[in-house]
Structure 1
């Protein structure tokens, strides 16, 4: 398992270095605009979603054909991608939080309660997006996976407009849920675990 994760980290290290320039650019933008939230969100999602990049590289190099000749279970191959995503998320938090606190220190435009809520929300969204994306990319591959993802992108906006139309008190109801926001990351982890079971079942049925 550790070897699989290390392989993926070595695979995506060049991609991370390339995207570091993008993160530096957004760092200056965030400082100029005094928007630590924007930088925090970008760092978390850019770093975490490198797990998708690892899947794409595996597909391009036909890694799965080789991996399935090794004494490695298909469940371990899939589980390594999910563990990789969590490791990358932790790395993103370690990278982002000091920078965010420094920006907040000098701008003082972000209340601590808002930070707690935003932190939980972004981490939960990262888990949920990974729970959605990983099975799609494992099932359809990188090319078809992008097409399916584009189709899925229209669903949240449609549901939101529908709920907003028929449930005008939805913002008030959501505000009442703030007190339970600390549970959101745990719910995200649960969704990610269920996603890993689905991805494992999909991968076991694939032919290489």
Structure 2
């Protein structure tokens, strides 16, 4: 599987650098305006978009057919995408949590519960988005699954934009965020549930891809 991961790494450097730039912009904006959950969650969505983009390029270049001649099983091919997604989401969760920790320390209002909430939010959104989108791509292919994938992106974005607006309308945004972001139990539970769904999604994708004709 090391070769598959290395292939995806090179493809990310070649085709997905723009997503890294967008994630950097939104992540920086989330440090300035903590009341806007969309700014905080969208970089996690981009992690899932990365994997969908990689699969789209694989399908366009006929990589999947070529890979059938290589000493890799279909299970390994699917699992490599989930490992990439895991690395991206986990890395982004740690990076943004560290950034918010540093920003809080500089401002003199460091809040470990908020930082934990940031970590869990990125973790939950990133894993949940990948868990929903990847099985659809492995079931229907990147072209047929594109409509459903776009629908998921729209639902995520609209949901977080709406929630972000509600948060910014409050004088003390902690009153709204407190129920979720400032409650480690809820945020931790959301992260755990997303992780479980991610594993279930991986098993589902393996089954879809094993039965798919290329």
Instruction: Name the TM-score, length of structure 1 as normaliser.
Output: 0.75
Q: Which runs of 5+ in 2 are unaligned?
A: 160-175
Q: Residue 36 of structure 1: CA displacement?
A: 8.6
**Helix, strand or coil: the match of 2:145?**
helix
Q: Deviations over 1:64-101 (max 9, x none)?
A: 00011222111111111111110112222343233222
Aligned length: 192
The whole-number CA distance in structure 2 between the counterparts of 1:52 and 1:186 is 23
**Helix, strand or coil: the match of 1:69?**
coil
Change (3 A) 1:25 1:181: closer
The whole-number CA distance in structure 2 between the counterparts of 1:106 and 1:115 is 14
Q: How does 1:140-179 map to 2 (within 5 A)?
A: 140-151=140-151, 179=185
Kindly indicate which of the two structures has a greater share of residues assigned to helix. Answer: 1
Q: Which runs of 5+ in 1 are unaligned?
A: 158-170
Q: How does 1:25-40 map to 2 (within 5 A)?
A: 25-26=25-26, 29-33=29-33, 40=40
1:182 aligns with 2:188: yes
Change (3 A) 1:22 1:92: same
Query: Which position in structure 2 is the counterpart of 1:41?
Result: 41
Q: Deviations over 1:89-144 (max 9, x none)?
A: 22223432332223223345674323323422331222121111000111222232
Selected match of 2:208 from 179, 202, 206:
202
Instruction: Name the TM-score, length of structure 2 as normaliser.
Output: 0.73
Change (3 A) 1:32 1:151: closer
Q: How does 1:44-59 map to 2 (within 5 A)?
A: 44-59=44-59
The RMSD of aligned alpha carbons is: 3.1
Query: Which position in structure 1 is the counterpart of 2:171?
Result: none
